[in-house]
A and B are shown apart, each in its own frame.
Chain A
């Protein structure tokens, strides 16, 4: 097991270098001169421009710029945005909001996704199963911004159950509706994945053995079936948690939530290179850590992987 973890950690190094390099080069290749853009219509004099370029390190050779960026990451320095604020402190304000939103979405998709999936898998072909397949198909097919606006209008404006937009991004009760919107598509995927996995495993020989052993049904389902069926579901959930941490641009936009997605959206709009690079780097790290945890979980859950 220890060896497996070590191997997995070593594998992360080239992935990390590769992804950060790609992000760095892409932002570098963006059209337009970001320093000039800071002055809007006014044309600054050449000396000011040169001074600013020097301040942001833009006059250094490309490899040197990349090196500065990379070594900064390890010192917790993600650079300075063009608005003169450290990227780390902008993210520092946004991350707790995103974590709250992601957790709300995650708990909803996990609890209801697995629940619906198991019920439907155990009653394959029955009414509950058909309803689930139909509803999840619709949820997957409708874009998130449509669901988001509909929920906002219905529950916020018409019914008045919640405030239509979030005015305190740190208040978790205000994040429940956006969390549902954010988690809904994943909820549909989780239910379908759970269902498929349950259907596959319910006919397995070891399930027949469990019945032949005279075990009570809740044990047969709760231990023997679940331990096997949930392996792919947990993998999906882990990867999705990584995605939820950064993929909330649409939802955060609709409900005016000041999270990481919002920061990224604004940074792209304002061509704030250092802020884009810093934010995306953060997302990459989150993603890498999430997939590491998923793989380790996988190895814990499936002994056949552990010893392979």
Chain B
């Protein structure tokens, strides 16, 4: 299949002029460990605009969370270190800001939702306290005022009987309700950008969709940027505008969402897509990418994916493929598309 319909593709994308809401530029993160230096992020670049959803995909250990934590500024340094790269929020480099200036961005301008709401909420403080803390610290509100805002927030994320439940503790809520509280906390100060790191993975299948819908609705309502980290390719198709696929701390493919599903330009993405269970393939064995993710202490030379890649050639073992622009049949670059594969053309048309 070839890509001919390029006009539809451009719509969900960033206009190239001006600065984006958030730009991660050639970010590197490494961890000093007893066994050596773990290179978790090796030159990641992505950007998000207001109202836009970027989905970050990739196997466990590919550096999705570490990148997000670097953006939030919640990495423990040490052991983490950011040897190079920039993270720009509205054009300002967060990495060179003072601690105090950075703190004021956290939670207020860029907020994060974590995977496990039970362990991410403080077990000995009421949810009302934890929500109102945002208003008290960042807005200097009184306890009473802030508590009232906390109830509003709980209403907003559709927690029933918010007024009665505001003084309850996290363990008294169900998993889905707890994640709503995390969402409410992230939303409290109406940030410009929300980073959701696998927000539904820890939930029952039945409530996953509800929580995801809520998040998507609120994002639209507040016109926020959203970075959605997930393993769930089904969710991505519904809510994301564009996708970045990560492997061994690099972005191996970027594309507008439907482009990627229709026509992946990287063998790894292709493998991921083939491993989604599909109704029309019932009974057939599920495809899985062979082999294991690389050891980040010792990432393979050349293309990190080469030991597992069905299309690998000699060149793949020596030369690191840059993120190539992906072009359509007539040779014009497709907006927002890139593939870090020497053979992206063959993959695209294969």
Q: Decide if B122 touches A224 in the complex (CB within 8 Å).
A: yes
A215 to chain B, nearest CB (A): 6
Residues of A within 8 A of B134 (CB): 213
Instruction: A231-B124, A303-B171 given; name 20 further pairs at CB < 8 Å.
Output: A205-B120, A206-B119, A206-B121, A206-B123, A208-B120, A209-B120, A209-B121, A212-B106, A212-B107, A212-B112, A213-B107, A213-B134, A214-B103, A215-B107, A216-B137, A219-B137, A227-B124, A228-B122, A302-B123, A304-B123
Complex A-B, nearest 5 residue pairs according to Cβ-Cβ distance, in ascending order: A214-B107, A214-B106, A205-B119, A213-B107, A206-B122
Chain A's closest residue to B72 (CB) is A212
Q: Could you say which residues of chain A place their CB within 8 Å of the CB of B104?
A: 214
The smallest C-beta distance from B174 to any residue of chain A, in angstroms, reads 15
Q: Which of A198-219 contact B (CB under 8 A)?
A: 204-206, 208-216, 219
Q: Is the CB of A304 within 8 A of B121?
A: no
A205 to B116, Cβ gap below 8 A? yes
Instruction: Please indicate the chain A residues that have their CB under 8 angstroms from the CB of B73 in the complex.
Output: 211
Known: A210-B122, A214-B138, A219-B137. A304 touches B171 (CB 8 A): yes
On B, residues with C-beta under 8 Å from A are: 72-74, 103-108, 111-112, 114, 116, 119-125, 133-134, 137-138, 169, 171-172, 185
- Chain A count of residues within 8 A CB distance of the other chain: 23
Closest CB in chain A relative to B290 CB, distance in Å: 34
In the complex, are the beta carbons of A209 and B106 less than 8 A apart? Answer: no
Q: Give the residue name and chain of the B residue nearest to A202 (CB).
A: B76
Known: A212-B72, A214-B103, A214-B104. A307 touches B172 (CB 8 A): yes
Determine if A301 is an interface residue (Cβ-Cβ < 8 Å).
yes
Is there an interface contact between B169 and A213, defined as CB atoms closer than 8 Å?
A: no
Please state if A227 and B125 are interface contacts (CB–CB under 8 Å).
yes
Most chain B beta-carbon contacts within 10 A, residue among A204, A205, A216: A205
Main secondary structure of the interface of A (DSSP, over half): helix
Q: Give Cα distance in the complex from A161 to B112, angstroms.
A: 58
Asked whether, in the complex, the Cβ of A215 is within 8 Å of the Cβ of B114, the reply is no
Q: Which of B103, B124, B185 lies in contact with A228, CB distance below 8 A?
A: B124
Q: Which residues of B contact A228 (CB under 8 A)?
A: 122-124
Across the interface, do A302 and B124 meet the contact criterion of CB distance under 8 Å?
yes
A307 to B167 alpha-carbon distance, docked (Å):
14
Residue among A212, A215, A302 with most chain B CB within 10 A: A212
Q: Known interface pairs A211-B106, A213-B106, A214-B103. Does A303 touch B124 (Cβ–Cβ under 8 Å)?
A: yes
Please give, as numbers and ranges, the residues of chain B lying within 8 Å of A215 by CB-CB distance.
103, 107, 133, 137
Q: What are 6 inter-chain pairs, A to B, with CB distance below 8 A?
A: A206-B120, A206-B123, A212-B72, A214-B104, A228-B122, A301-B124
- Distance A212 CA – B111 CA, assembled complex (angstroms): 7
Residues on B with C-beta less than 8 A from A223 are: 125
Q: How far is the CB of B114 from chain A (nearest CB, A)?
A: 7
Enumerate chain A residues within 8 angstroms of B185, measured Cβ to Cβ. Answer: 209, 213
Q: How far is the CA of A219 from the CA of B114 in the complex (A)?
A: 21
The residues of A that contact B124 with a CB separation of less than 8 Å are 227-228, 231, 301-304
Q: Does B122 lie within 8 Å of A209, measured CB to CB?
A: yes
Distance between B348 CB and nearest chain A CB, rounded to angstroms: 39
Q: Is the CB of A304 within 8 A of B119?
A: no
Of all chain A residues, which has the CB nearest B188?
Answer: A213
Chain A residue at minimum C-beta to C-beta distance from B118: A205
Nearest-CB distance from B145 to chain A (Å)? 18
Nearest-CB residue, chain A, relative to B195: A212
Q: With A205-B114, A208-B120 in contact, do A216 and B103 touch (Cβ < 8 Å)? A: yes
Q: How far is the CB of B185 from chain A (nearest CB, A)?
A: 7
What's the Cα separation between A134 and B213 when bound, in Å? 55
Q: In the complex the two chains form, what is the Cα distance from A214 to B136 in whole Å? A: 12
Contact A304 B169 (CB under 8 A): yes
B119 engages A204 (CB within 8 Å): yes
Q: Give complex CA distance A208, B112 in Å.
A: 10
Bound-state Cα–Cα, A204 to B124, Å: 13
Closest to A208 in B: B74
- A295 to B23 Cα, complex, angstroms: 52
Query: How far is A214 from B73 in the complex, measured between Cα atoms in Å?
Result: 10
- The reply to whether B114 and A209 contact each other, CB–CB distance below 8 Å, is yes
- Whether the pair B120, A211 counts as a contact (CB closer than 8 A) is no
CB distance from A1 to the nearest CB of B (A): 13
- Report which residue of B74, B120, B122, B134 has the largest number of chain A beta carbons within 10 angstroms of its beta carbon: B122
* A214–chain B nearest beta-carbon distance, Å: 3
CB-contacts of A262-308 with B (<8 A): 301-304, 307
A205 cross-chain contacts in B, Cβ below 8 A: 114, 116, 119-120
Closest beta carbon of chain A to B122's beta carbon, Å: 4
Q: Give Cα distance in the complex from A210 to B125, angstroms.
A: 12
**In the complex, how many angstroms separate the beta carbon of B99 from the nearest chain A beta carbon?**
9
Report the minimal beta-carbon distance from B192 to chain A, rounded to whole angstroms. Answer: 14
Question: In the assembled complex, which residues on chain B have CB atoms less than 8 Å from the CB atom of A231?
Answer: 124
B121 to chain A, nearest CB (A): 6
Closest beta carbon of chain B to A103's beta carbon, Å:
28
Find the A residue at minimum CB distance from B73. Answer: A211
Q: Nearest-CB distance from B171 to chain A (Å)?
A: 6
Cα separation A239 to B73 with both chains bound (whole Å): 41
Closest to A225 in B: B122
Name the B residues within 8 Å of A208 (CB-CB): 74, 114, 120
B122: A residues at CB distance < 8 A:
206, 209-210, 224, 227-228
> What's the minimum C-beta distance from A172 to chain B, rounded to whole angstroms?
35
Q: How far is the CA of A98 from the CA of B44 in the complex (A)?
A: 66
For residue A188, give the distance in angstroms from its CB to the closest CB of chain B: 26
Compute how far the CA of A234 lies from the CA of B235 in the bound complex, rounded to whole angstroms.
46
Contacts of B111 in A (CB 8 A): 212-213
Question: Judging by beta carbons under 8 Å apart, are A214 and B137 in contact?
Answer: yes
B103 CB contacts on chain A under 8 angstroms: 214-216
A98 → B minimal CB distance (Å): 34
Task: Give CA–CA (A209, B121) in the complex, Å.
Answer: 7
- By a CB distance below 8 angstroms, the chain B residues around A216 are 103, 137
Q: Nearest CB to that of A205 among chain B residues?
A: B119
